[in-house]
Structure 1
Amino acid sequence: MPLSTEDALVYLMVVTASSDAGISDRELGLIGGLVRRTPALQGFPPERLADVANACIDAINGAGGLDGVLDLAVAALPVRLHDTAYALAVEVAVVDLQLPQEELRLLEMIRDRLATDRLVTAAIEAAARARMRKLQ
């Protein structure tokens, strides 16, 4: 069954959060905040977040695995939202102020599947780093 556009965006955020073997409270909080304030997710009811996140995790653990989930999510996204999807994934990846190798590899997989321009993805990554930078 194909995903809705909103579900696909949530799937990519959940996949990113789970890429380092667990979803932190900070990541969950950020995903909830992004669901509430991101214009592309305006039609997504926040009370569905837990169900969609659980369905995503079940799909990752299912027959298609991570590759199947990424393919399903990307197929549900219009091209005009590819940069938005990547930006949401990067936001989730950087919220813990560290990027383990697993998250970096996953972001690369997402970037490749979305076929987003390299300059655009570099700008998204630089902006996320700038937002998360601490004073010391």
Structure 2
Amino acid sequence: MSTINPHQALIYLMVTMSAVDRRMGDRELSWIGAIVQRFPVFRGFDPERLVYIAQEAGELLSSDEGLRTLLALVKEALPHHLRETAYAVAVEIAASDLQLPKEEIRLLQIIRDTLNLDKLSCAAIERSAIARYAVL
């Protein structure tokens, strides 16, 4: 198992969240690009690498034990102070299409458990996304 850097880890999680329901919608994919462009955690990241890293994530997910391997790489790559950020970007992708199928809910639970995040912090992150995506 090779290692990845924190930027790759965050992108891997976003791609995984987008793909979990087997429908990588245009809205989710464009939102990944927007997050990479706008979130401070991606300062210094070359956006030209985004497609390549997303393809890496897809290849990894399609392999045997792909999700388990990907999550182990993500956990290893992320410093503790970025774990809530990782959960937040996953929530952003889940919320971006204004739907939350059970597969996405389950993956969020798996991410929370893998990164050893407390339920209260995760609930706050989720509630924040609900407020941002509210419609009339």
Deviation at 1:73, TM superposition (A): 1.1
Deviation at 1:62, TM superposition (A): 1.3
1:77 — aligned with what? 78
Indicate yes or no: 2:112 matched with 1:106. Answer: no
2:60 — aligned with what? 59
Partner of 2:21, secondary structure, is coil
| In 2: Cα distance, 1:108 partner to 1:123 partner | 14
Taking every aligned residue pair, what percent have the same amino acid on both sides?
Answer: 47
The one-character-per-residue Cα deviations of 1:37-91 (angstroms, maximum 9, x if unpaired) are 1111112211111100000000011133111111111110000000000000000
**5+ residue gaps, structure 1:** none
Letter in 2 for 1:34: I
Q: Which moved more, 1:85-94 or 1:42-51?
A: 42-51
TM-score for both structures, normalised by structure 1: 0.96
Indicate yes or no: 2:66 matched with 1:39. Answer: no
| In 2: Cα distance, 1:114 partner to 1:43 partner | 24
2:49 — aligned with what? 48
Contact 1:6 1:43 in 2 (8 A): no
TM-score for both structures, normalised by structure 2: 0.96
Which structure 1 residue ranges, 4+ long, deviate > 6 Å from structure 2? Answer: none
**5+ residue gaps, structure 2:** none
Partner of 2:35, secondary structure, is helix
Letter in 1 for 2:120: L
Indicate yes or no: 2:14 matched with 1:20. Answer: no
1:7 — aligned with what? 8
| In 2: Cα distance, 1:22 partner to 1:54 partner | 15
- Aligned residues between the structures: 135
Contact 1:56 1:69 in 2 (8 A): yes
**Two-structure CA RMSD over aligned residues (Å):** 0.8
Partner of 1:30, secondary structure, is helix
| In 2: Cα distance, 1:73 partner to 1:114 partner | 9
